[in-house]
A and B are shown apart, each in its own frame.
Chain A
Amino acid sequence: MLFINNKKGFTLIEVLTSMLLLVLLTISLYAVVVSSNIWISKAGKSTRAITLANSIIEDIKANSYNIPVGVYNRIMIYESIGKNGLGLSTNYSDEKWGNYDISITINEASMANTSANNLLEVIVKVSWEEDSINYEEKLISIIARR
């Protein structure tokens, strides 16, 4: 009894089942790679959105130092360019900025323990839709009225 003398081998069904399991395993691994690619392209879009929001904040710092408190979309704020420090230099509808929706909210900044009363809080929201899901990135900055 030193060697096992069972020479029966596997049946066809056993072999097929094991192959099926192998296929299932490989396909699930493939699904992991594919879903990671989806996340990579989502991350790319997020990066673009954040860069766009940052660019808008820079634009506001450069050109719009006197915006009244309120909520603006990109067209509203672009149309009022050059009027007493209110407005953006472009409407950011260029293809290279991407198809993003922009909303800009201006609030009075309430700073605790300071007497500063000429500060505005700028909230730039950039949102986009993909596969009927809405994504949004938000940047907040504080600017001074000049």
Chain B
Amino acid sequence: MLEKNFNQKGFSLIELILALGISTLVIISLLLVFIASLNAYKWGSTATDNQYMARRAINDIEKDVKEAKLVKINEENDILTLNEGKEEIRYYTQKQNLIRYANKSATPIAENVSLLLFEFQAENDNLLGIEIGVTSGDGDYCLKAQIFPRTFKP
């Protein structure tokens, strides 16, 4: 009985190669699924980031424009200036960061901004159009909004 339990024959070479082959196939397919899910995860997180950046930038600018007493745009349509003197707020991009300049300090409020465009729309220029494109990695998200500045005088 003891000798039967200690079966020291082992696997044959063919068995071993077969087992290796099968496990290689399974591991490769698992790896492919893993790589695909990693890519999907990357895509998802950059897409979420881009959407968040664009939405946040539009929200911040919108809030400031609605409270502004004066709205100005430069000739290249990429710098927005609100108010005058001490209360001046500026929005512009620097090294793909959207900067909000107020009280003598510049605060970046969004990253990877590849496009920032301001323009006065409508026949009597009473609508401010904002276009923001955020590009990072292979993701790209563009958001376009327009705001009616409450700067009109009675």
Contact = CB atoms under 8 A, between A and B. Distances in A.
Interface of A: 5, 7, 12, 15-16, 19, 22-23, 26-27, 29-30, 33-34, 36-37, 40-41, 43-44, 47-48, 51-52, 54-55, 58-59, 61-63, 81-82, 89-90, 94, 96-97
Given A22-B30, A55-B147, A90-B122, 12 more contacts: A7-B6, A26-B33, A33-B37, A37-B43, A37-B47, A44-B47, A47-B51, A48-B143, A51-B58, A52-B144, A55-B145, A89-B122
A47 B148 contact: no
Contact of A96 (B44, B122, B131): B131
A87 B30 CA distance: 58
Contacts of B19: 12, 15
Q: Among the interface residues A15, A34, A40, A61, which one has the most CB atoms of the partner chain B within 10 A?
A: A40
B48 A40 contact: yes
A5 to B, nearest CB: 6
Interface of B: 5-7, 19, 22-23, 26, 29-30, 33-34, 36-37, 40-41, 43-44, 47-48, 51, 54-55, 58, 121-123, 126-127, 131, 141-148
A30 B58 contact: no
A30 B40 contact: yes
Contacts of A81: 123
A89 B44 contact: no
A44 B51 contact: yes
A47 B142 CA distance: 11
Contact of A62 (B54, B142, B144, B148): B148
